Amino acid sequence: SSSSSSSSSAGRRATLAVASTAAIIKYSEILSTTGVSSTKALAVLGVLALVQWAALDGTFSSLLLAIILAIGGPLAEIPFMAAGCWHYIDPDYWPLATVGLGPNTGTPWAGLSVITGPCYFAVTTDSIALGRWLATFPNSSKDPIDSE
């Protein structure tokens, strides 16, 4: 049937999206712990995230959402970093260093890493793929409360 074919295709895309995101995140760890410059790591991870998006989605709306979250996601981490929940191994303080919140300014909570953006981009792509796959299941759009 057409709907099972659609679900199967969406399921394959979702699986590939999650697996490729896991690989991108693991590669970001490797790049950050082996001394690769932030600029080079950003370029490599950015290309990988764009290839993932192009191969598994390709829609403008998903691209726009992924770009917004690639910028906003890392910035949303600041309160958690300020609370001491975690820190980056080798922060480069991007983009906050451009507004005077870089290293040696007494702002360790601003220690973001530029490579986090492509990871958020990739996670957005796989979240969209998972959502599209889940939407292929019968009754997936019904509110469980209304069905009682």
- Cβ neighbour number for residue 87 with a 10 Å cutoff: 13
What is the reported pLDDT for 4?
A: 66
Q: Which of 66-70, 85-89, 92-96 has the highest mean pLDDT?
A: 66-70
CA distance 110 to 28: 19
Is the pLDDT assigned to residue 104 strictly greater than 90? no
Q: Is the pLDDT of residue 79 over 60?
A: yes
Closest to 111 measured CA to CA, from 146, 143, 85: 85
pTM above 0.85, yes or no: no
In this predicted structure, the answer to whether residue 140 has a pLDDT above a threshold of 80 is no
Burial class (CB in 10 A: 0-12, 13-18, 19+), 37: exposed
Q: How confident is the model at residue 58 (pLDDT cuts 50, 70, 90)?
A: very high
Is the pLDDT score of 141 beyond 70? no
